[in-house]
Chain A
Amino acid sequence: MNALNILDFFIPKYAAFQSRILLAASRSLLRELYFLDKPIFLSAIVRNLDSAVVRVSLKPNAPSNYFTLLTWVNETLILACNDQEDFTKYVKDLIRYQATLLQHCLEEGRKRGIKSAALRNTKAATRAVLRDTEYIETAIQSYLSIFLGSGVSPFAAGVELGILAGISKQLVDKTASVLIEQSKGPIYEFFIKDIIGSKVRIPQYVMVGLFCIILIDRTNFNGFSQDLQLERTWREYYSQRSLAAFLDPRN
């Protein structure tokens, strides 16, 4: 009996896990497999999840497929927290999958239930990761390097950064909050450059992230809102008027 064979059998069948009861049973199964053989479990599940995420990203899938995979990614992320070496090895891949799948779950036209369940599940996983003070620095660095880098799409990163900032603010232990505060400059820069400065329409769900980011530090809210306002005014002005009107000295 090998965890590898079981995972190779179950993970590609993500489309069959439609009901809440079956999804809960699959999570129990993952936990048992992890404690049976940790190294084999983690390498096998990350490999299987990787191919599944690639498959569901190629063409539109049923929302429940994204949600099932997101639940498994979050469960694996929590399990990987049990060991620092495992966590360091797999955290970046898992966070990337999490952001991609969460974005698919929050897309416009999805049912409210699946959106809120996806957000709730991801927030619970992020809280579980950040609560572990031993790897908190590694975790925050991994999150920021992926979201502020080019690891995921800016809209996915926007939501995840919002969740990260919101949860770090809520935790009793302020280590995460302090680490986020230290990276506030690059976070603001990301939001102004990649979200406000985006050439495509910003999906409504990204504002969740923006709202949470603002919550980081209320005292600095004015400075940030002024930056946003300036950018927005300039973009609206530029997009609503023709170039000729823009260049006309009378305007």
Chain B
Amino acid sequence: MAEDPGSLQQQMPGAEDLPYRLEIYERAPSEHAKAVVLNEKWVPWIRKKGRPPKLISAAQGLLQHISLLFLPCSALDTG
């Protein structure tokens, strides 16, 4: 029985890898399709890679708050 190509894509191991994305781009049949691949598959993917994971950014925020709590009083004294 033939599998649904969409589900196959989702299950493919290493689907997030660069060669896989390059292949999707290469296989796009027209310039318009290639533009759609770049805009919808590549740009959000790179943007996501550029951002720190949510857990790490939350931990960074928490650490910043804690460090503010332990600031010496002289640092807060503006007068």
A interface residues (Cβ-Cβ under 8 A, vs B): 1-2, 5-6, 9, 16-19, 21-22, 24-26, 28-29, 32-33, 35-36
- What 0/1 pattern do residues 21 to 58 of B give for CB contact below 8 A with A? 01000000001101110110011001101100000000
Chain B nearest CB: distance from A14 CB in Å? 13
Smallest distance from the beta carbon of A142 to chain B beta carbons, Å? 29
Does B18 reach chain A (CB closer than 8 Å)?
Answer: yes
B45 to chain A, nearest CB (A): 8
Most A CB contacts (10 A, CB to CB) among B18, B36, B46 go to B46
* Nearest A-chain residue to B50, judged by Cβ: A36
Min CB distance A25 to B, Å, is 4
Which of A1, A25, A33, A36 is in CB contact (< 8 Å) with B35? A25
Whether the Cβ atoms of B39 and A28 lie closer than 8 Å is: yes
Tell which of A1, A17, A19, A25 has the most Cβ of chain B within 10 Å. A25
- A21 and B31: CB pair below 8 A? yes
CB contacts (< 8 Å) of A1 on chain B: these are 17-18, 46, 49
A68 to chain B: closest CB distance in Å? 12
| A36 partner, pick from B31, B36, B39, B46, beta carbons under 8 A | B46
- B28, closest chain A residue (CB): A22
Q: A19 touching B32 by the CB < 8 A rule?
A: yes
Q: Shortest Cβ distance from A44 into chain B, in angstroms?
A: 14
Given A5-B18, A9-B22, A28-B39, also A22-B46 (CB < 8 A): no
Indicate if the CB atoms of B18 and A19 lie closer than 8 Å. no
A28 close to B38 (CB less than 8 A): yes
| Residue pair B18, A32 in contact (C-beta under 8 Å) | no
Contact check, B31 vs A22: say whether CB atoms are below 8 A apart.
yes
| A29-B45 Cα distance, complex, nearest whole Å | 10
- For B46, list chain A residues within 8 Å (CB): 1, 29, 32-33, 36
A22, B18: Cβ atoms under 8 Å?
no
Q: Which residues of B are found within 8 Å of A22, using beta-carbon distances?
A: 31-32, 34-35, 38
- Chain B residue nearest to A31 in the complex (CB): B43
